[in-house]
Each structure stands twice: as structure tokens, then as C-alpha cells.
Structure 1
Amino acid sequence: MNHSNDIKAREIKERLTNNELLNLLDVREKIEYHTHNIGGLNIPVGKLKESLEQLQWQYNDEIIVICSAGLRSETAKSILEQNGYQNVRNLTGGLLAIEKLQSI
């Protein structure tokens, strides 16, 4: 598993603050997404394999995969990489890591 290109909460928060347009894929369940999210496309990790055709991104686009703690997004990153996506980044620590930054 290649963790070298994973993204940390601080970097993603800075990029969102700068209104950078990010390709976010939130792989939590719909109820979690609707309770709290930072935007992006919501496809639960369990439905990702059969939903790949919904992705509008190119194979070399940066795609940032997010979930609550970084575990489901790690699985989703593997699925995307196995299907030809070359620049997939997992949000280390998930949305919980971003929330921790905001409470500092």
C-alpha cells in the first residue's frame, strides 16, 4: 500500500480555505454524508466498484478520498488504483482529523 501521496488534514484545510477546486470522493454512508461533509461526490465504499462509471474524473486527475477516520477511504483508494486511477490520495485521519484542527 502506497501511503507516500496521502494527504494530511492541514493541507486539505488550507486548500479548501483557498477555494481550490478539489476532486473529493466521500466514501461514507449517505446518512453520515448528510450529517456533516466538506463537499465532494458521495459514493459509499461498498458501492464504489459498481459506481465507477459515475466518476467524471480522468485517470491521472488528483482524487482525494475521504471518510470518518481514514480506513474506508484507504479501501476506496485501493479500488480506484486497481481500476486505473493513478493519482489517488487518502485523507489521513479522515474528517476527524480536520475537526481536530478546527478545535485547536
Structure 2
Amino acid sequence: MDTLYFFLIILGAIIVYSVINWLYQRKIVKTLTEEQFREDYRKAQLIDVREPNEFEAGHILGARNIPLSQMKVRLKELRPDKPVYLYCQSGMRSGRAAQFLYRKGYKDLSHLQGGFKKWSGKVKTK
């Protein structure tokens, strides 16, 4: 019985953490549909936060690859005074990248709803 209570407490903590994280992310980053993303992404810094092998397999035309795993060391490549449009494969990594950038002082952050797998626009492959 004690094991069941322990499991339920852990499960509850995970759910509470996930909800808080989701609410925080909604506050700091705008989630844009593909149409909204297309309207302004050429005026912003378009960043693909996927790993280099994913980027080379296909990416949105005009995007720069700054993987989430390298974001901390490559932060100087981004200007805090310009909007930053982020995307990844599904939207999870771009949300985490937005949280990191927000803590570093970037305020105009947007990411693509559904990520690259939902993108139907122009794509470049290597």
C-alpha cells in the first residue's frame, strides 16, 4: 500500500511540474500556426534547434542551425533586439530553447506549432 501512495505522489508531482512548465512556456513564447509563421519569419532570426543531421536532411529555407544542445555556447550568434523564430521537429525542443533564451534576456520569441513535420512550405536539403 505504501508503494502505491509513493507512486501516486510521484505521478502527481510529474503532472504538476508539466502543467506549470506548459503555462510558463505559453507566457514567454508565441505559438504560431504555419500561416502566421510564414507571414513574418523572413523579418526575424529563423533558428532550427534540431541537431545537424536533422537539419541537413531538410530545413525551412533561410533557417540557421543552432541546436538546442549548443545554444549556450552559440548564444552570441543571436541578436536580442530582433525577433527570434524557432522550430524543431515537433515543437518540444523549440519550447525549451525559448525558455532558455527568455532567461538570457530575449523577449520577442515565437515557435512553429507542430514543428518542422507540419511545415508544408519551401524546404532545403543538402
TM-score (norm: length of structure 2): 0.67
Q: Which residue of 2 aligns with 1:31?
A: 53
Q: Give the gaps of 5 or more residues in structure 1.
A: none
Name the CA shift for 1:75/1:2 in 2 (closer, same or farther; >3 Å).
closer
Is the 2:71–2:97 contact (alpha carbons within 8 Å) kept by the matching residues of 1? yes
2:77 is aligned with 1:77: no
Shift of residue 10, structure 1, vs aligned partner: 2.0
Quote the Cα distance in structure 1 between the aligned partners of 2:44 and 2:88. Answer: 15
Q: Which one has a larger percent strand, Structure 1 or Structure 2? A: 2
How far apart are the structure 2 equivalents of 1:86 and 1:22?
13
Q: Deviations over 1:8-41 (max 9, x none)?
A: 112223446xxx4331011001011111111321
Report how many residues are paired. 96
Which protein shows a greater Rg?
2
Between Structure 1 and Structure 2, the one with more helix by share is 2
TM superposition outliers: structure 1 runs of 4+ over 4 Å:
none
Partner of 1:9: 34
TM-score, scaled to structure 1 = 0.79
Deviations 1:65-99 (A, max 9, x none): 11010000000001100100010112111011223
Conserved? CA contact 2:68–2:93, under 8 Å: yes
Two-structure CA RMSD over aligned residues (Å): 2.1
